[in-house]
Structures are given as structure tokens and as C-alpha cells.
Amino acid sequence: MKQINLILASLIIFSSISCTQKKEYFEETGSVFHTSYSIKYEASKLMTEEIDAELQAVNMSLNPFNPNAIIAKVNRNEKVEIDEHFRIVFNKAMEISEKSGGMFDITCAPFINIWGFGFKDEERVTPEMIDSIKPFVGYQKIRIEGNQVVKDDPRIMLNASAIAKGYTCDVVADMLEAHGVRNYMVEIGGEVTAKGVNNQGIPWRIGIRKPEEAGAGRPIAIEEVVHLTDKKGVATSGDYQNYYVKEGKKYAHTINPMTGYPAEQNILSSTIIAENCMTADGWATAFTAMGLEEACRVGDSIPGLEYFFIWSDENGSYRFSYSQGMAKYLPNR
């Protein structure tokens, strides 16, 4: 009996020590998907190896610039089995494509490439080039059968960049939670999954940039600040973040999959809050390509999704539109 009591006492003492291990906030930084990341979290130890493992797993699945990634092999028409990361992102992409009327489409990689946002350097794009590509662009022309991707045309290529960064935020966040982390912010290329509070004990605050380019020596201007405590995903798409200028005209990174041309719409910045960052990421891109009226209509029809749009009126002045549920995340309004 004494031996049993001694063992129990030891277990209780060990448990008490484990439960009272001091936690502190850490920050991990680096690059993935040709963009930077910053991961802040409260834990009892650094989790660098665990984070790197998750980042590399998604990189090996969805990075089209990685020749060994599953998506790159699919684009080369190699026989390859997809993994769970690929399947989840593919299915969400198809869902957003259908609900957006095709304004989001991961098969528009050839359009992205000829406009200089993908693998190729920019070149003069002609209507003939666009027309020659249209036959093998369209989310309806590709599907998953078993563990493989089936294309209606072998020239179809995928680019998941408009949704993969958000998904990767979710993957890292889920891993942190599985290890008992309750306060964290995962940011990859401007997309964010966050929960809890920061090291000052206040909700995570995510800035929404003004739609202006940050020049040399000029700080980035913030238009609005989103406050988060519950686990949410936040993503922003805007033509000030990724574009090039040719012959005096600005070309946005958001392609209209229906026309093959960069979207020429009045939405300058689309910020979305959703239950996960993958959903927010995909819809932020889709809404930017839609234009204000249609984006508001569709956004209001999707449960659990909130939006904040910065748009330009006929005089070139900035205007704002946001969903009713977005107001609770914007204490300054």
C-alpha cells in the first residue's frame, strides 16, 4: 500500500510540475511558397521542427514551383497519387468556383503564366494568345477519380496559389492546437489564421492596407484594423499587393478566368473573414474579380463569411462596403 501511495504521490508531483511549466511567446519566421511567413504562439518550448514539417508537407503537395510537388507532377501529366492536402484544397477550390460562377478557377494557370504572374517573364499578350488558351481553362474540365487527377485536356494546368497560402495557415494552426497551444497567429504571405490573444493579453489585430503602393522610404498605410479572438481565418486580395506596370497601365494579379484578362473591377481590396483561412483566401480572390455589386450579393449569401471591400467610385475616390457581421471585428467603426 505504501508503495502504491508513493507512486501516486510521485505522479501527482510530476503532473503538477508539468502543468506549471512556464509558457512564453515565440516567433518563427521564414519563407514558403515564394513568400514570407511569421508564426507567433504561446508555448512552453519552441516548435520549429513541428512547424517546418507541416510547411514542407504542404509545399510538397501544392507548390507549382517545386518540381517534385504533386501539383507540378499533375501539370506535367505524370502519373501521381494525390495526398490529403491536395484533395482538401482541390475540393474547396471546386466549391468556390461553383458558388462564384467561375470567377475563381485553379485551372487558369496558363493565363497567369502569360501575364507574367507565374513561371514566365511578362510578354505582350494578344487576343489570339488568350483565345488559344481558353479551350483548356475551366474548372469543369478537371476532377478527382480515386487518388488521381483526371483532365479533359492534357494541356490543363493548375495553380493553387490563390488558396494554398490560406490552407497552409490552417494546417499550422491545427498542429499548434493539437500540441495544446491556445494563443497563436499564423501569417503566410499576408493571410492569417489566429486565435486567442497576443503577448500583451489583447486580441490579435490584423491591419488592412490602404490601396496604395508603398514606395521607398514610405511606410505602409493601414486603412482598418481587424480584431480577432475566436479562431478565424483572414485573407486580403488587392491589386496593390502584386502587379506590374507596362506602357503606363497597371496589371493586377487577379485574373478573370472567364475572359483571360486581369480583372478590371472597382474593388481595390477585398478582405474576408471565415471559419478557416483557406475559405477566406479563395473568396478574397473571387470577390476581387467580380466587382462590388456581385461580390456583396454573393458574400451576403454565404453563412459564416464576412467581407470588407475598399472600392473606387467614378471619381476615383475610395469607398468602403462591409457585411453586417463584419462590424464586430472593426471596433474603430
For residue 20, being part of any structural domain is answered with no
Q: Coil, strand, or helix at residue 177?
A: helix
Number of H helices and E strands in the chain, helices first, is 9, 14
Q: Tell me how far apart the alpha carbons of residues 167 and 282 are, in angstroms, rounded to a whole number.
A: 10
Q: Coil, strand, or helix at residue 130?
A: helix
C-alpha cell at 210: 490602404
CATH no. for residue 131?
3.10.520.10
Q: Tell me how far apart the alpha carbons of residues 79 and 63 are, in angstroms, rounded to a whole number.
A: 17
Q: Between β-strands 232-238 and 191-195, what pairing exists: parallel, antiparallel or unpaired?
A: antiparallel
Cα separation values, 191 from 35, 42, 195, 216, 226, Å: 11, 20, 14, 24, 13
pLDDT of 209:
85
Written as one letter, the residue type at 268 is: L
Cα separation values, 314 from 31, 271, 297, Å: 39, 22, 20
Q: Coil, strand, or helix at residue 246?
A: strand
Digitized pLDDT (tens) for each residue of the chain, 333 residues in all? 434 443 333 333 334 444 557 899 999 999 998 899 999 999 999 999 999 999 999 999 999 999 999 999 999 999 999 999 999 999 999 999 999 999 999 999 999 888 876 655 556 788 999 999 999 999 999 999 999 999 999 999 999 999 999 999 999 999 999 999 999 999 999 999 999 999 999 999 999 987 765 444 555 678 889 999 899 999 999 765 555 555 655 555 678 899 998 887 788 889 999 999 999 999 999 999 998 999 999 999 999 999 999 988 887 788 899 999 999 999 877
Q: How far is CA 298 from its chain centroid? A: 19
Asked whether the beta carbons of 47 and 27 are under 8 A apart, the reply is no
- The neighbour count for residue 162, using CB atoms within 10 Å, is 27
For residue 59, being part of any structural domain is answered with yes
For residue 200, being part of any structural domain is answered with yes
Bridge partner residues of 235 (DSSP)? 272
The C-alpha angle 276, 65, 99, rounded to 5 degrees, equals 35
For residue 2, being part of any structural domain is answered with no
C-alpha cell at 37: 511567413
User: What is the total count of domains within the chain?
Assistant: 1
For residue 316, being part of any structural domain is answered with yes
Bridge partner residues of 198 (DSSP)? none
- Domain carrying residue 297: 25-329
For residue 220, being part of any structural domain is answered with yes
pLDDT of 34:
87
pTM of the shown model = 0.88
Q: Coil, strand, or helix at residue 255?
A: strand
Side-chain-side CA neighbours of residue 211 (13 Å):
23
How many residues would you count in the chain? 333
pLDDT of 92:
99
pLDDT of 123:
64
Q: Tell me how far apart the alpha carbons of residues 328 and 333 are, in angstroms, rounded to a whole number.
A: 9
For residue 265, being part of any structural domain is answered with yes
For residue 188, being part of any structural domain is answered with yes
Bridge partner residues of 267 (DSSP)? 311
Asked whether the beta carbons of 125 and 244 are under 8 A apart, the reply is no
